[in-house]
Amino acid sequence: MDEEDPKEYRWETGYEKTWEVIQEDDDGFLEASVADIIQKSKRKRQALKQGHAKLGMMRHLYIVIDCSDSMSGQDLKPTRLLCTVKLMEAFIEEFFDQNPISQLGIIIMHNKRAEKISELAGNGRKHAKAVKALNRTSLVGEPSLQNGLELALKSLKLLPSHASREILVVMGSLTTCDPTDINVTIENLKTEGVRCCVIGLAAEVHVCRHLANETGGTYNVILEDSHYKDLLFQNVDPPPAAVCLESSLIKMGFPHQMATEGTEDPLTMCMCHIDSADEGSKLTTGGYYCPQCNSKYCELPVECRSCGLTLVSAPHLARSYHHLFPAANYKELPYEHQSAICFACQKSFIADNDKQVYECNNCKKIFCTDCDMFIHDTLHTCPGCATNLATFQMSHSSQ
Amino acid sequence: MMMDLEGSTEKSADFTNTDETSLLVIIMDSNPAQRILRENPHVLTQCVDSVIAFANAHLMQKAQNKLAVMACHSKLSEFIYPGPGKQLDVRQIDGQYEVFTLVEKTIKQNLAKILTSETSTVITESLLAGAIAMALCYIHRINRIKAPGLKLNSRILVVTGSGDSASQYMNYMNVFFTAQKQNVVIDVCALDQHLSLLQQGCDITSGMYLRVPQMQGLLQYLLWVFLPEPPIRQKLVLPPPVKVDYRAACFCHRELIDIGYVCSVCLSIFCKFSPICTTCHTVFKIPSLGVKPKKKKLKI
């Protein structure tokens, strides 16, 4: 589905016997078969993801959510909107976990208008709160794709040239009600280098396909909620850098907690809560101090409010390294008693259950299916290479 | 302390709940290149004995508790309990609980196998990050195959006398963040030098970091500081958490910096502005001053 040719419609492709892919297991369940399909697609995507591509690491992403009448549809349970809200909360958490120095903003489209419900910022909790509050919005009127895109573009335009700009549209409606020609907006987005991805909840719409194709993004229509989640979470990984993306050195501050031997920390107020209405700034000890102007913050990463310096900690940067240096893909081999146990998790292979095993090209260790998934999805370090001195040095010198 | 525990009956019910078990993976650094082992090889015997006694103490706390022990050696890391192959056949000796005998015999036998296979005398670093990665895969599997409804608290204890090396930085960070995501606590017991990288890992996963002041008292420190489960720890008076220095070291001089420059492509950190990134060879545009005249021209 992902790689289908944009010129070709689904009904023009060859006749597929989709039901033959699915097979019952011994107990008559389909779960194993479905899990197998999901895993295969994951591996396929993993194979495409190979390091040494220039990625847009400092991402600035606007999520544009359709909140029109069509989002009250009940094809996703309980409704399209509630399902979106739930997935979006998980997405935001995962996004900041994987891209700690990136920023996110949220725009909703309803009643032919676009409304920014959360400004571009790096704090995940604030966005999650804003998304949660969407449960109570009234779903009225038609969405305006153009207004949504224009609003996002207005603030993305102002970003420095090294920032990777992206828009992710979740479109439930099959129509859009626009004030002027949307092609002009698409052209503008293209010249500004904004990558637009669209997830359709209903059916393929030409203007969305056109938007995604022109701006180098992806366009997909969901099948059901787990496919929806899968499509949404594809946006967690940073995309390849846009051609016009300039590279530059960015000045950043690395605050450390002030610790003077023998003295207690002074009581101070933090800058992050200084003007928030619901929870005011409290007098506390400790915190992170901007090395340039000494203002205090309780959380990192943050942009200093008084001097504009980006404050991060070293682990924040380190958390993004695995996108740049991913673990090498394993080779899938039929199980022929290469090894009695999985090198990583010590599971003993049983010839009937483990039809495939995975071999690392560098350290030649054998892994089981689950470890292959775990290592490439979460761990990003090959346990074989990392425990073997020879391969460790080899892989290290190549980086 | 006891009164406090009894006072909160709800909490103590949690601790004694039979649906809750804890898995402890001990990573023992057996690399002969460690300074304390080079000076006095007998330290290893003491270290192994302490770890075994500690491991048994963990098993004694609750019948359902699980244990795994790994040895991180100069060239390889291996599980030494439960080791590869068939379980040893043990009989009860002097009325000792059979499992304890099994733990002791298996660990000693497997460790001896690793030590005798050691041939080179070249000093190499211990690849602890890789060992933690293996432990995480193991924990991931145990979590997968556990009975539904069972709650498994997993933690990793690293006992090491080697120093930490910046060359493993990326692997360390990957395993720390994975552990944090999987709710695995990483405890570190440093026998010799201060380990700043592993200390960061403890801070990230909210584990305990302790540098043992006296090798003689190793077992005592282990039992005192590392035996209590993480939820009980907050009720104990343990060494206070130290403030961890998260400042970055620049890639050019390896010095800790307060303000630095970060490459937007590969996120390398430099202490001074340079026109070309030494890591990814990207050419940077000159900041601020270089841009302004261009804009003016456009306006005209």
B 167-226 residues with CB below 8 A of A? 167-171, 173-178, 181-182, 200, 204
- In a mutagenesis test of the A interface, which of B70, B145, B264, B285 is the best target, namely the one with the most A β-carbons within 10 Å? B264
Cβ neighbours of residue B276 under 8 Å, at least 6 residues apart? B282, B283, B284
pLDDT score, position B210: 92
Q: What are phi and psi of B215, to 5 degrees?
A: -60, -35
Give the number of other CB atoms < 10 A from CB of residue A280.
10
CATH number of the structural domain spanning residue B62: 3.40.50.410
Nearest Cα neighbor of A172 from A199, A207, A134 is A199
CA distance linking residue B248 with residue A315, whole number of Å: 8
* Domain spans, chain A: 56-233, 252-321, 331-398
- In a mutagenesis test of the B interface, which of A103, A381, A398 is the best target, namely the one with the most B β-carbons within 10 Å? A381
Nearest Cα neighbor of A104 from A143, A136, A130 is A130
Measured between CA atoms, how close is B104 to chain A, in angstroms? 20
Residue B163: burial class (beta carbons within 10 Å; 0-12, 13-18, 19+): middle
B161 and B209 in a single domain? The answer is: yes
Query: Which DSSP string corresponds to A42-93?
Result: HHHHHHH--SSS-B--SEEEEEEEE-SGGGG-SSSSS-HHHHHHHHHHHHHH
Q: Is residue B293 part of a domain?
A: no
Chain A residues whose beta carbon lies within 8 Å of the beta carbon of residue B133: 344, 379, 381-383, 386-387
Cβ–Cβ gap B181/A97 under 8 Å: yes
B203 and B122 in a single domain? The answer is: yes
Q: How many CB pairs below 8 A link A and B?
A: 179
Q: Is residue B101 part of a domain?
A: yes
B257 and B224 in a single domain? The answer is: no
Q: Is residue B3 part of a domain?
A: no
B156 and B203 in a single domain? The answer is: yes
Nearest Cα neighbor of A127 from A160, A112, A108, A105 is A105
Of A33-42, A380-389, B113-122, B157-166, the poorest mean pLDDT is in A33-42
* Range(s) of the domain holding residue B135: 20-233
B154 and B29 in a single domain? The answer is: yes
Cβ neighbours of residue A53 under 8 Å, at least 6 residues apart? A240
B173 and B275 in a single domain? The answer is: no
Q: What are phi and psi of B59, to 5 degrees?
A: -65, -30
Nearest Cα neighbor of A337 from A379, A366, A363, A361 is A366
**Which residues is A110 bridged to in the sheet?**
A113
CA distance linking residue A239 with residue A244, whole number of Å: 14
Q: Is residue B175 part of a domain?
A: yes
**pLDDT at residue B3 is higher than 70:** no
Output b/e per residue, A174-188; b: 16+ Cβ within 10 A: eebbbeeebeebbee
B281 and B215 in a single domain? The answer is: no
pLDDT average, residue stretch B233-237: 87
Q: What CATH class has A331-398?
A: alpha beta
pLDDT digits (tens, 9 = 90+) for A286-321: 778 888 888 888 888 888 888 888 888 888 888 888
Q: Is residue B6 part of a domain?
A: no
**Does B282 touch chain A if contact means CB atoms closer than 8 Å?**
yes
**CATH H-level, domain A56-233: superfamily:** von Willebrand factor, type A domain (3.40.50.410)
Structure tokens at B269: 């950190």
B229 and B279 in a single domain? The answer is: no
pLDDT score, position A271: 80
pLDDT score, position B65: 92
**pLDDT at residue A21 is higher than 80:** no
Give the number of other CB atoms < 10 A from CB of residue A360.
23
B123 and B256 in a single domain? The answer is: no
pLDDT digits (tens, 9 = 90+) for A107-161: 999 999 999 999 888 888 889 999 999 988 888 889 999 999 999 999 999 888 8
**Which residues is B20 bridged to in the sheet?**
B151
Name the domain count of chain B: 2
CA distance linking residue B270 with residue B155, whole number of Å: 36
- Which pTM was predicted? 0.83
- At A352, which amino acid appears? D
CA distance linking residue A352 with residue A282, whole number of Å: 62
pLDDT digits (tens, 9 = 90+) for B273-286: 888 888 777 788 76
pLDDT score, position A304: 86
B108 and B134 in a single domain? The answer is: yes
B109 and B131 in a single domain? The answer is: yes
- In a mutagenesis test of the B interface, which of A98, A254, A371, A377 is the best target, namely the one with the most B β-carbons within 10 Å? A254
Residue B10: burial class (beta carbons within 10 Å; 0-12, 13-18, 19+): exposed
